[in-house]
Structure 1
Amino acid sequence: MHLVLIETAGNQQYIFASNRLRENVGASELTYRAGTEYVLQAVAAAGGPSLWSDDQEKVRAELLDADRNPPLADGQDGIEVVLAASGKAMLLASDAGRARSIISRVTRRALEEAPGLDVRGFVSDSFELGSHELHRVVQDAHRGLEGLRGMLPGPQERFLRLPVVEPCATSGLPASELVRVPNESSSEACSLVSYSKRRAAEEGLRRMRQAAGEHRLPYSADALEHELECDWLAVVHADGNGLGEVFLNFERYVRAAAGGDQQARNRAYIDTLRRFSLALDRCTEQAFCSALAKMVPTRKQRQASKNGAQPVLPILPLVLGGDDLTVLCDGEQALPFTHAFLQRFCELAAAREIQEVLSCGQPGARLTASAGVAIIKPHDPFFTAYDLAEALLRNAKRAKPAAAIDCHVVFDASGPDLNRVRRQLRVDGGRTVLTARPYVLGTADGRYANRRVADLEGWIQALRRDGGDGESIPRSVLHDLRHSLFLGHQQADARFKLLLPRHRALRSLAHGSEDSVSLFWSEAGDAPDALRYTGLLDALELAPFWRNG
């Protein structure tokens, strides 16, 4: 038999190549179809099982059903679908000719319906489940696929500029036709790549609404900015922690449980990989649906719903699958939503289907996720916000294996360079850091002992009230404290001690003993090179964006 590996490459670049939300949603949908609909329909056309359905849950159930997706044994004729997920599929085929025909159908359809999407396929050498280690076959297939990509030109080579043609208004690629601008009477030049993404957007939104269950999502990609009237928008990018290492060494998570001969271990590998991947999909979707309960309609939507219609939530999923989540939402609700998503993801990941696999390879291991949240004004370029959210996610993952959130609010148009921004938040020659981000969920010790989401919530609530008579702390006082931070830790602590007796709510921001109260704490005690941190600036900046906190 042969292993068939089909994957898309450059997904983020393809999905976020334009600043038009409609194209982002459509590109995400086309990436999803390439690994699911295109593959499963090609399998059926090649004589394999017919498993495709518009209902995602039905597809998952049939993939797990041994009657609908029968296991393929050595010497047996047929096709078995191991994986069929967004942007990736893995199959077992009885002969190389049938395997190549599947790849041919998938790549040809991608060229026709999703031009610009990089889809490649690889067929392994012949092997037997009874005598070869399947994980090594999978590794060889991945290496072969990477080698194939290095030999072939990328999708950008399909759209040459000779003869000279007008550029697409959104992608810069050669335009192929004129299309009407939504809500306007004018037309604009549009490339075939952008046009295919726009056509797929409505189906993508339908699939996302299906995943949202009873919650009502926007019916168009333009509604979030123009119809829901959000003062701030946020890009939330979340991803599981350490899953790349799990898939890279997946045989460690199977062999101990399988035992038996080579064929039994390989069959356990196939079944475990399939169940684990589908469980991850469900985990992410269910966590997303659960976190939607934290979202509330905007004021305009609440007024529009007085006639009895269910209000639309100000959130638009762009990527939802595997352990990945990317959404665009109301910036003032992004942090509570993200917190709820990560909490629920960690809870669902502790379920038997996922936890049994992790415990087999690494006893006591827990699957967590981290997120980056970039909050911008609606007129700011979306693609820069996504780049910032990705940088924030990388920073949040420094706290793994703990789940963590890092966030940034873009108040100006100077360019959201995260490294530059964070360098500017260091004083006292770099010894004092005026931000404690990222913040971790749950309990924490060591480096993150004072950097929990619960700590941040407590500081925000303290700034919203005065512990004595319930009145809020005057803005002038908070401005004074903020200014003092940039003068160094000694000046900030001196000002803090003067204000503390009059505003007892500030005590929740205090660290140290009664005799040496301070706005700062050190992660390395009294060590000469210890850095000092404070959460005051984070609380001041993020308080308007934690309405449900």
Structure 2
Amino acid sequence: MQLVMIETNGNQNYIFSSPRLRENIGASAQLVRLKEWTDKALRDTGVRQAWAEFHEPKQQARPKPSPPRESTSPSRFSSLWVSRASGKVIFMVDTAEQAKSIIGHVTRTALAQAPGIDVSGVFIDMGEATHVDEALLRTLHSEASRYALERPPAGSRFSQIPFLARARDSALPAAPPLNTFLPNGLADEAKQDLITAYSLPSRVKRYEAYRARKALIERAVGTNPGLKEDRDEDRLVRDPTQLENKYKESKYKELQEQLKHDLMQTFLIDTDEDEGTVPDDYTDDVDTDTAADNADNSLRAIEEVFQDTEVVDREIEPDDLVNVTKLSKVAVIHIDGNGIGAIMRNLEVAKSCVDAEEFKSSIGCQPDDPDAVRRFILGVSTQLDAVVTSAFANAWFDIARWAQRDKHAQQLDFTVVPVVPVILGGDDVTVITSGDYAIPFATSFLKHFEKKTAADPLLKYLHGVDRGAASGDDQPEYTPGPMTAAAGVAVVRRNFPFHIAYDLAERLVEAAKRVGKAQVPAVSTLTYHVLFDTTVLDADEVLSAYKSFTTRPFLLSPASTGEGSGSAAQHLEWSEVCEQVDKFNGLTEEDEKSGEARFPRTRATRIRRFLSDAAQAQLREKTALRDELKKRAEDEWRSAKDALGKHVEAIGGTKALFDLLELSDLLPERYLAEQLSETSSRAPESASQQSEEAQA
């Protein structure tokens, strides 16, 4: 038997190789099609049927797994599958010829349907083994690493010699319109694309972008079984043009109807259009020019929100673009789970963390079953994918709800906050959204992610696998709890290159993970940076410039007071940060009678400037200047304390001002009010628990 792995490589580079949002959207959707391509290859080559005839009849005598087979259960898939992640699939076949055939089929499909994407495959002989174990998986990944050093890069297939024209926004050669060389022609490529010199990868990405958005959102709010866990919320239904009747009271009906309309506009789906996907045998029975124009206009609407777009072939009428409100600032959010890689590197330790009874009910076999490793990998990957998708859907709904109420409070026409999911798979999430709602989205996602993993019968045991592996304990015992993640938010000006913002967001996640994973148990963390100075683009230089006068990263929940909690004292809990922002806003508001603020923002800005200049002096090793600037900052703070006393102390010290000035602009009013309400409702519960502990 052969163990086969096919994976995509350089995903971020492929997505952000273009500065155009439409191409980012199309590229992200192409990356998640690896499972679809592999499924089709297994069917078309007959390997799937041959495997079923030879291997699966032997398993019919086994008792059926309990509970009944669900879409996230390992029992739903053929026994040849080992892992089905978004950018990597692992499976078994009987012969080396079959392995080569499948790899060739998938890579040729990728070349045809997603030119420019980097897909590679390797396989190893399993010897006498009939089931997958950790040793075989390590050997397979080693083979993949070795092969990666030998093969040519994906970009080398696009020759630019001798006389090819350079494509727009790309280092690749230009390609003619798609309808000139596809076998059956193509009638619905956007008119602007027809007359613009795009590369072949760009043309395909742009063509796929509209349907890609529809498919991605259907994945988030459609049939994904992870949404079945939301019994207490009932926010989402299969049809994304409708929302569950959550708010039945009359005062919420108008809100709900508006949300139905505006959420559809967020994802650019025509509410009068049939929600079914476009069939493969699509014909010209539909007016393709009209369909193409509608798709193009919808995508231009979302592009106009984030970027200035050039209109080459015609002017866009105002009615063509739905509720377009250009953003002053946008954000790239990157979220990465803690300890996910450790689970796959230490499968035996991870298996031993799970309660035996729940392992059997979730995976469909006992932990010591020879097939347990394969089923466990498949179960973890599918469950994690479902949880991430569900957390995204709920966070997106929260953002729309906060945004709409904020706009109503300001007596403005509601324009729904744009949320563009770029990567949504496994534990890896990248989203582009409005700068005003970026931090609320990140915190909402983290909370939903923790809640859903804590409720999952399998994932709730896997939050401490990395520590169990580090301790060398083969039989660790873990109390069920939530898995955690880190979020990095890079807020930039409109039209700022997304690939630079993404690199900054990645570095922010690294900083947040170091703090979160240092706690025992690990906690979810959040950090951000507002990048308006485009003269400094190196991420490390940007982040090191202010680390001495900030409390970032923030902790999503209180850290334990036990081992590893020392660094937590330097980082505030998010609910505490929200309280400080609210108090800071109150101090900086102008008095209705005098017209003056009790704590002028100009004073806060001066203190921040002194601290920033002191940090720069420190980097230049000008100690005397650094000390003088710090003294000025402390003098300003002392003057404020003398005037306002405990009111100023409530917002923290001078280190807090740097964060508060930015957060007061970044956190919307409705979101902040809801966070404060949650904090106040938890306070009596916490006091009651402390009283009970004291009595005990």
Q: TM-score range by the shorter chain?
A: 0.7 to 0.9
1:447 pairs, out of 567, 573, 578, with 567
Matched, 1:64 2:73: yes
Matched, 1:498 2:639: yes
Matched, 1:187 2:195: yes
Shift of 1:62: 5.1
2:425 pairs, out of 308, 311, 321, with 321
Partner secondary structure for residue 415 of structure 1: coil
How do 1:298-377 residues align onto structure 2 when only pairs under 5 Å count? 312-350=416-454, 351-358=456-463, 362-364=476-478, 367-377=483-493
Change (3 A) 1:484 1:251: same
2:210 pairs, out of 175, 180, 202, with 202
Kindly indicate which of the two structures has a greater share of residues assigned to helix: 2
Partner secondary structure for residue 433 of structure 2: strand
Tell whether the 8 Å contact from 1:228 to 1:314 is kept in structure 2 after alignment.
no
2:608 pairs, out of 475, 482, 486, with 482
Q: Distance in 2 between matches of 1:277 and 1:342?
A: 19
Q: Distance in 2 between matches of 1:18 and 1:395?
A: 27
Partner secondary structure for residue 370 of structure 2: helix
CA deviation string 1:323-350 (max 9, x = no partner): 1111110101101111111121122222
How do 1:509-528 residues align onto structure 2 when only pairs under 5 Å count? 509-510=651-652, 519=653
Change (3 A) 1:470 1:454: farther
Shift of 1:186: 8.5
CA deviation string 1:412-460 (max 9, x = no partner): 221332332344337xxxxxx1122211211134222252222322221
Match of 2:301 in 1: 223
1:241 pairs, out of 323, 335, 338, with 338
**Partner amino acid, structure 2, of 1:385:** A
Shift of 1:218: 2.9
Change (3 A) 1:392 1:222: farther
2:379 pairs, out of 275, 299, 309, with 275
**Which structure 2 residue ranges, 5 or more long, are not aligned?**
50-68, 179-187, 222-242, 244-262, 269-297, 305-323, 469-475, 518-522, 560-564, 614-627, 673-696
CA deviation string 1:482-526 (max 9, x = no partner): 34434544332222121124345322134xxxxxxxx25xxxxxx
Tell whether the 8 Å contact from 2:84 to 2:382 is kept in structure 1 after alignment.
no
Match of 2:113 in 1: 113
- Greater shift, 212-221 or 492-501, is seen at 212-221
Shift of 1:63: 6.8
**Partner amino acid, structure 1, of 2:150:** M
Shift of 1:133: 6.0
Q: Distance in 2 between matches of 1:370 and 1:194?
A: 32
Partner secondary structure for residue 272 of structure 1: helix
1:251 pairs, out of 348, 352, 365, with 348
Q: Distance in 2 between matches of 1:109 and 1:341?
A: 34
Q: Distance in 2 between matches of 1:317 and 1:293?
A: 13
Match of 1:507 in 2: 649
Q: Distance in 1 between matches of 2:335 and 2:121?
A: 28
Q: Distance in 2 between matches of 1:376 and 1:105?
A: 42
How do 1:130-145 residues align onto structure 2 when only pairs under 5 Å count? 134-145=133-144
**Partner amino acid, structure 2, of 1:9:** N
**Partner amino acid, structure 2, of 1:168:** A
Kindly indicate which of the two structures has a greater share of residues assigned to strand: 1
Q: Distance in 2 between matches of 1:104 and 1:181?
A: 29
User: What is the TM-score of this pair, normalised by structure 1?
Assistant: 0.82
Partner secondary structure for residue 164 of structure 2: coil
- Greater shift, 198-207 or 267-276, is seen at 198-207
Tell whether the 8 Å contact from 2:72 to 2:379 is kept in structure 1 after alignment.
no
Tell whether the 8 Å contact from 1:254 to 1:265 is kept in structure 2 after alignment.
no
Tell whether the 8 Å contact from 1:4 to 1:90 is kept in structure 2 after alignment.
yes
CA deviation string 1:359-398 (max 9, x = no partner): 6765337521101111111122222111111121122111
How do 1:67-216 residues align onto structure 2 when only pairs under 5 Å count? 69-71=77-79, 80-129=80-129, 134-177=133-176, 187-213=195-221, 214=243, 215-216=263-264
Tell whether the 8 Å contact from 1:372 to 1:389 is kept in structure 2 after alignment.
yes
Partner secondary structure for residue 536 of structure 2: coil
Match of 2:287 in 1: none
CA deviation string 1:246-304 (max 9, x = no partner): 211223222676899999543111111111111110111111111113313878x979x
Q: Distance in 2 between matches of 1:29 and 1:467?
A: 45
Tell whether the 8 Å contact from 1:459 to 1:509 is kept in structure 2 after alignment.
yes
Change (3 A) 1:230 1:544: same
CA deviation string 1:218-264 (max 9, x = no partner): 32444335223222110001111121122112232226768999995
Q: Distance in 2 between matches of 1:461 and 1:225?
A: 33
Match of 1:524 in 2: none
Query: Percent identity of the aligned residues?
Result: 30
Partner secondary structure for residue 4 of structure 1: strand
Aligned length: 498
Partner secondary structure for residue 327 of structure 2: coil
CA deviation string 1:165-200 (max 9, x = no partner): 111102220111258997869832111111121122
Tell whether the 8 Å contact from 2:557 to 2:574 is kept in structure 1 after alignment.
yes
**Partner amino acid, structure 1, of 2:568:** Y
Tell whether the 8 Å contact from 1:15 to 1:28 is kept in structure 2 after alignment.
yes
Q: Distance in 2 between matches of 1:185 and 1:173?
A: 16
**Partner amino acid, structure 2, of 1:346:** E
Partner secondary structure for residue 509 of structure 1: coil
Change (3 A) 1:9 1:484: closer
Change (3 A) 1:482 1:415: closer
Q: Distance in 2 between matches of 1:245 and 1:295?
A: 32
- Greater shift, 445-454 or 180-189, is seen at 180-189
Change (3 A) 1:177 1:468: closer
Q: Distance in 1 between matches of 2:139 and 2:345?
A: 12
Change (3 A) 1:183 1:463: farther
Note the aligned Cα RMSD (angstroms). 3.3
Change (3 A) 1:315 1:62: closer
- Greater shift, 132-141 or 2-11, is seen at 132-141
Shift of 1:317: 0.6
Q: Distance in 2 between matches of 1:139 and 1:331?
A: 42
